[in-house]
Amino acid sequence: MAHADIGGAMIDAPILNLIEREKSKALSNREWKFRLAGYGYAIKDVAGAQVVTKLPQGIELGVLPAQFH
């Protein structure tokens, strides 16, 4: 299982902008995650936090801010 440093990594602003834009277009969380996968990103739940990862490697980019939950 992958390890997540819940304490801290910040996600780059362009990626956060993409995530926010796609969330506003999606009708559900499932569709939102599907749309992000098209750009090569995924969101996984780790210890109660949502972590953004880069597909297909699964490299963790950082914890998603609470405003996106």
Q: Are 42 and 32 in contact (CB under 8 A)?
A: no
- For residue 56, cis peptide bond before it (omega within 30 degrees of 0): yes
Burial of 38 per CB tally in 10 Å (0-12, 13-18, 19+):
exposed
Token pair in block for residue 64? 């998603």
Closest residue by Cα to residue 15 from 56, 69, 51:
51
pLDDT digits (tens, 9 = 90+) for 10-50: 899 999 999 999 999 999 999 999 999 999 999 999 888 89
Segment (H or E) for 5: none
pLDDT digits (tens, 9 = 90+) for 40-54: 999 999 888 899 999
**Could you tell me the pTM of the whole model?**
0.82
